Structure formats: C-alpha cells, structure tokens
Chains A and B, each alone.
Chain A
Amino acid sequence: MECFEKNMSTLVHEVKRLAVLDSERCVGCQLCMFACSRRFGEGGLAKSAILVRSVGGIEKGLTVIVCRACENPPCARVCPTDALGQRKHGGVIFDSSKCIGCGNCVRACDIGAVFWDDETNKPIICVHCGYCSRFCHYKVIGVEKIK
C-alpha cells in the first residue's frame, strides 16, 4: 500500500488515475469495493473509496462511483483545514491529521465519490492506486495515465 502511494506522489511525470472504462460490463460483484478495504488488510467495506450500485434495480444495470481525479477538485476547495490538498494533474491527497470531520467534502462532490468512514468519522479518499482494478475480472475499471 505504502509503495503505491509513493509511486503516485513521486513519479509525477507518470501520474495515473483510476478510470471507469465501461460500466455496462459491470456484473455488480463488488470485488473492487472489497479490494479497496483489503488494502489495509481488513475485511468489510468501512474503508472503501469505491461503490457499485444498481441504477434503480439490478435489471436496469449498474453504476460505478469513484473519484475521477478532477483537475480543480471541489472537495479540496471547501475543506476548511486544508486536509485535502490538490494532487498534481488531478485528484486530491488527504491528510487525516488535519481533518476535523466536518463533511463539507462529501457534500461538495456532485458524483458522490467522497465516501465517509463511520468508524473514524473522516472521509475516504481514493488514492488512485489501482489495487481494485486488479480484481475487476470484467474490465469495468482500469488505471490510465494522465498526461
């Protein structure tokens, strides 16, 4: 896990982001969500920064909600303590020690990609490590380079 983050922040010329490639291929297995929590070696979904849910009933298909690494992220702009800093070339970096748990970031994200950890009372921010995509057998999500 640590090595993923290091890769992300130091190799600026190769910044990557997690991308939803084709949500129509999604079968709703949610293995990505479990993978995201498993980065920390735990089970369950409390730490997951990605959500797969149906669009009004499973027969209508599924949608994948995850940070899209905005260039000018609204969640960072509304953070009163600078706990969310802008990541070069898109996305945000979260400094949990500065976070006061106000929840502004959750409300600011129109796509609903800032999740909330009820156990720590802080947001869960995607670091675009791509670990989840390794468990996506149906190629719904993948890692792509940001130029």
Chain B
Amino acid sequence: MNPREPLKRVLYIDLSKKSFWIDEREDLFERWLGGVGVAVQLFKEEASKNVDPLSPENPVIFSVGPLTSLYPLASKTIAIFKSPLTGNLGESHAGGRSAIALRLAGYGATVIKGASQLPVYLVIKEEEVEFRDASALWGVSNAITVGRILRETAPGQGVRTIMRIGKAGEKLVSYAAVMTETYRHFGRLGLGAVLGSKKVKGIIIYGKHTIPVEDKKKYREVYDRLYKLSVESDAMKRYHDIGTAMNILPLNYIGALPTRNLNSSRFEGAEEISGENIAEKKLARRIACAHCPVACIHIASIREPYPDEPYFYKTTFISYDHELIYSLGSMLGVKKIDNVLRLIDIVEAFGLDAISAGVSLAWATEAYKRGIVTINETLVELDWGNVENYIEAIKYIVEQPNHFYTTLAKGTREASKHYGGQEFALNFGGNEMPGYHTGYGAIIGYSIGSRHSHLDCAGYRVDQTIKEPPSPEEYVEMLIKEEEWRQVLTSLVICLFARTIYTVENVVDALKPLGYDCTEDELKKLGEEIYLEKQKLKIELGFNPRELKIPSRVFETSTPHGLLRRDYVEKALQHYAELIEYKINTSD
C-alpha cells in the first residue's frame, strides 16, 4: 500500500466519552481491501455476539475502498452494524456524496460506538470531530427539514455529505433509514434506529484530500477507458433514461410484480405507475451520486393545492425508484402516480425504509381484511389503495400509539409472531421482501443472501434470463458464486449497478496503477473469504442456516416460472446449509 495513501486511517468516535482518535490499520486494508471486507473485521473487533442492536455497545462502521474517488461509479459507502430488524448482521449501502466525503476527509473507515446523553450531530473533518448539540433538531418531524438546517450550519459546500435520521430513527422503528443528500439512503435493516439509539441526529463529513496514485499515466488511461464504458453502456443508459423504475412494466408483463401483499403478481395499475409514465408526466430532474456519470436518481415533482386559498400551491420534489413504486404502489394497490409519490414523500420525511414500510402495511392490510386484527388495533381502516388511511397508518408506525403499531414498527416477522398471519408475512430472515417475484432464484436469493436483500446475489435477475431453472443444488451454487464476487465489488467499493463494467479483468486493471498487484484468482479468492467471514459472523450472531422460514404465500402466487414448488426451495436451502457448514469446517 502506498505510504501516502490515507485509506488505512480509521477514525474511532466514542459518543459516550465525546472523544475520537485515529488508528492506522494498514493490516486490515491490505488483507481485506476496504468496504465490506474491512468493515466486517472492524465490527468483529468491536461487537460482542449478544450485543443488543439498540444499546451503546452496538458499533456502527462506515467504510469506503481503494477505488473510491479515483474511478467513476465507485460511489458507495458501506455501513455495518447489528440490525434491530433481523437481530443479525446489518449491512446497508448508500451513495450521494457520502463515499467521496469520507475518503477525502482522509479516512478509509469510521467506527462509531457508545451513545450520547444529549442529542448530537457530528461534524467530521480532516483531523477532528466536533460533537454539536442537536437538541433543537431532535423531534423535527421531517428529515428533509433537518437536512435544510444542517446545510446552513455546516462547512464544506459541494464536498460534504449530510447524513441524518428522521423521526422514525428517533422513535427506534426497526426499519428506520439514514438519509444522505436528501435522496439517497442507508435504507435497509434499520441503521436509522441504531443511530437514534445513540442520539445521533446527523453526521456531516467533509474534506478534499489528494489521493496519491503510483502510475499516473496508466491511471489516466484506465480511467478514460472505464469512463467511456460507463457513458456508452446500454445498461447505464437505461438507468439514466427511465431509472430503476423501468422494471415495473416488464415485471408486470411477465407476471413478477408483487401486488396486494403478493396475492397477485400482476397489477392492473402498472401502466399508470410505470417508470415510463412517471418520467413523461412528473419527472423534474435527474441527479447523480458524486463521481458517477450515470445519474440514475429520478426526481418527480407534484403540485398540490392548499384548500384554504385559490392559486396557492405546494410543490414537492420526490425521488422514486422501482422498489418504492412496488412497496408503496403495487403492493398496497395504489394506482395513481400522485398517490404513490405522496406515500414515498411521507416515508422519506419520517426516514423509514420504503420496502419494509410498504410490506408491513401490506401485511397489516391483509391481516385486517381477514379479521386477524380489528380497527381497535389498526385505528384506521386499511384497504388496498386507500392512501389517506395509509398516510395515517405510517404516522402511527412512527408514533406507536398502541401495542399493534409498536409491534408493526418491528417489522412483519415480529408483528405476525404476535398477531398471526405468518404465512403471508413477506419477510426473509426478518427482512421484508423486495419487488421481484420472478421465480426460484429470487426466493432462494432473499433467503440465503447475507443481507436477505435482492442485491446480495441477484437471483431475480437470473430468473429473468434462464428458461428452465437448473437443479436446486446448482442454483444455490450459482447464487453463492455471484454473492462471493459481489463481496469484491462492495469492498472496492463499486455501485452494484456498474457490475457489468467492473469485470474482474477491469478491476485488476483499475487497481494496478494504484500500486495493488493482484491477480484475478486472488481477487476471486478474496471474495470467497469475505463471504465466508460474513456467514460465520452471522452464525455467531445467532443465525441458523437450517432454520430459514419461507412464507407460504410465495408458493401460492404464480411466477414467470409457474407456481413454485416448496420441495425445490427446501432442497436448495438444505444444500446451502450443508455447503456453509462444509466451508466453515474446512476453513482454518
């Protein structure tokens, strides 16, 4: 590693003592690259296995990698923590300016531990950390407003990140998110609640260091080639044109768009809430994460009249993506664009994970309609497409006025454990289902993926490219192989949308001018090792690969591959468990 390379610097922040220090951890960055690889090790050093996710002892690690700020599309920050939603390993990724800011402040990672008595927000600069009083911000209900206030008080315009939690994080909703730059999120697995439990309202990071490069000429050559690939690739163009919302129509067409709590895989309102229709009628602006030329972030504007005065309007800008249109649109039977956008807006304002929030409401709606819970619990009538009541219910999830909402704020696994309806509580390993009911790859992937996310191993994508599924054993091995390679990408840290550009050959080329001499095989092996480290850590934290539960609803609603067979999935999961046990037993 280049001796001038600041990546090795790890910033430790102790909120209880309001102190900080910097350690040089060349050992970790040389062995594990950065990103996920390093953050998992830092987490293992800091956390005990029985740590309560909402206690001061739960550490939060943010990390970036060697490619951050040096190459296009290396734009993500990794967060590792213990998840209050699943009670197991929490991993969440976000873009915005977060990665560049942390890297150029001169750090490869930061470890945040302890808890503050007073609400605080942190200002992280090149050599120091300020602990600022956030009492005046605590309780501000809209996370967008919090961003507005912090923008005015903090330095570093244009080269900073402003992470913050909303009221959902303060109220410890298990799937509260952390927002960064208003429109990007550490969405999944409840990082917002962990920061809320530490009384951290926001984190501002800024800096504009130089990052040294060993072979300058070669660096520019590789850069130019990767830049050209990223602006000329078809895949990237699609992310720019319609954005991830381009998925709604094709998924609906093939019958893979989860609708009304997955009672159906086709939605009659798909045309209306499709990416194409929103782009045509509502798209206001497209923006990018720092150092990404793709600009996949799509922002719609809606204009709502105030009822008390004519010609008096409120214009709201709302960022949308496939997952949000699924979870707050088709999953809740909401057919009008403006209504989907209004739900997205309120979820954003409270700082909730949109997928878990939507899927929780979908479960609650079905539970209500089946009479498992009554209006005494739900307080409002829940019905598909009833947006006004969904807005009320979202407020209740945050405020938790009764036992039902306190439980629903812990996700569908907890809620269905108390109230019943586990067979239609759509979660995998405790994390709510993403927006693809494409076949075996999706369901197996959600189950065995380290984060129980579609992005772990992209089974949903494989489902859409194969005609016939292979044997359950082969499918599992394919997905694990994909997840292993993704550990390299998320350690570098590359946006997963750019996975087709950062092939193993290109990654080797990109690392070389920086002074990293590694072969393709070494990188692949590293991916396998990081994957295994995560699986081991999950088991230490209480995860049992033999006890994965699949809600029976996924076998009752058709996919493009027909109705899925439970025995196929069970065989796959058994093979996964055996493989993991074998890998662990044969590793040192």
Interface positions of A (Cβ within 8 A of B): 27-31, 34, 37-38, 40-48, 51-54, 56-59, 61-62, 118-119, 135, 137-138
Contacts and interface: CB of A to CB of B under 8 A. Distances in A.
Interface string B46-73: 0000000000000000000000011010
Given A31-B72, A44-B103, 16 more contacts: A27-B287, A29-B289, A30-B290, A38-B220, A42-B212, A42-B213, A43-B212, A45-B208, A46-B209, A51-B159, A53-B158, A54-B158, A56-B148, A59-B183, A137-B231, A138-B295
B16 interface: no
B34 to A, nearest CB: 14
B182 A58 contact: yes
A34 B223 CA distance: 11
Contact of B291 (A30, A42, A118): A30
A65 B317 CA distance: 24
Nearest to B184: A58
B536 interface: no
Contacts of B289: 29
B285 A61 contact: yes
A37 B220 CA distance: 11
Point out which of B70, B148, B288 has the most chain A C-beta atoms below 10 A from its C-beta.
B288
Given A58-B183, A59-B182, A43 B210 contact: yes
Contact of A59 (B100, B223, B317): B317
A48 B335 CA distance: 47
B118 to A, nearest CB: 27
Contacts of B209: 44-46, 119
Nearest to A51: B158
A29 B210 contact: no
Nearest to A30: B290
Contacts of B288: 27-30
29 contacts: A27-B286, A28-B290, A29-B290, A29-B291, A29-B292, A29-B293, A31-B291, A34-B69, A34-B291, A38-B219, A38-B220, A38-B223, A41-B213, A42-B212, A42-B213, A43-B69, A45-B100, A45-B208, A51-B157, A54-B158, A56-B151, A57-B148, A57-B151, A58-B181, A58-B182, A58-B183, A59-B182, A59-B317, A119-B210
B159 A59 contact: no
Size band of the interface chain B makes with A: 35 or more
B31 interface: no
A53 B148 CA distance: 14
Nearest to A118: B208
Q: Is the interface of A mostly helix, strand, loop or mixed?
A: loop
B291 A46 contact: no
A48 B208 contact: yes
A59 B213 contact: no
A136 B480 CA distance: 38
B11 interface: no
B470 to A, nearest CB: 39
Contacts of A43: 69-70, 210-213, 219
Nearest to B218: A41
Contacts of B212: 42-43
A105 to B, nearest CB: 18
Point out which of B287, B294, B295 has the most chain A C-beta atoms below 10 A from its C-beta.
B287
Point out which of A43, A51, A135, A137 has the most chain B C-beta atoms below 10 A from its C-beta.
A43
Contacts of B227: 31, 135
Contacts of A42: 210-213, 216
A45 B159 contact: yes
Contacts of B103: 44
Given A29-B295, A30-B291, A57-B182, A44 B158 contact: no
B344 to A, nearest CB: 14
Interface in B138-170: 147-148, 151, 157-159
Contacts of B70: 43
A-B pairs with the 5 shortest C-beta distances?
A: A41-B216, A53-B158, A43-B211, A59-B317, A29-B288
B299 interface: yes
A52 B442 CA distance: 40
Contacts of B317: 59
B355 interface: no
A59 B285 contact: yes
A135 B226 CA distance: 12
B467 interface: no
B292 A52 contact: no
A58 B287 contact: yes
Nearest to B152: A56
A40 B219 CA distance: 11
Contacts of A56: 148, 151
B217 interface: yes
Interface in B73-119: 100, 103-104
A11 to B, nearest CB: 24
Contact of A53 (B147, B157, B210): B157
A6 to B, nearest CB: 19
Contacts of B285: 59, 61
Contacts of A48: 208
Nearest to B316: A59
Nearest to A56: B151
Contacts of B181: 58
A112 to B, nearest CB: 10
A106 B104 CA distance: 22
B287 A28 contact: yes
Contact of B219 (A41, A58, A61): A41
Point out which of B158, B182, B211, B213 has the most chain A C-beta atoms below 10 A from its C-beta.
B158
Contacts of A47: 210
A37 B210 contact: yes
A44 B208 contact: yes
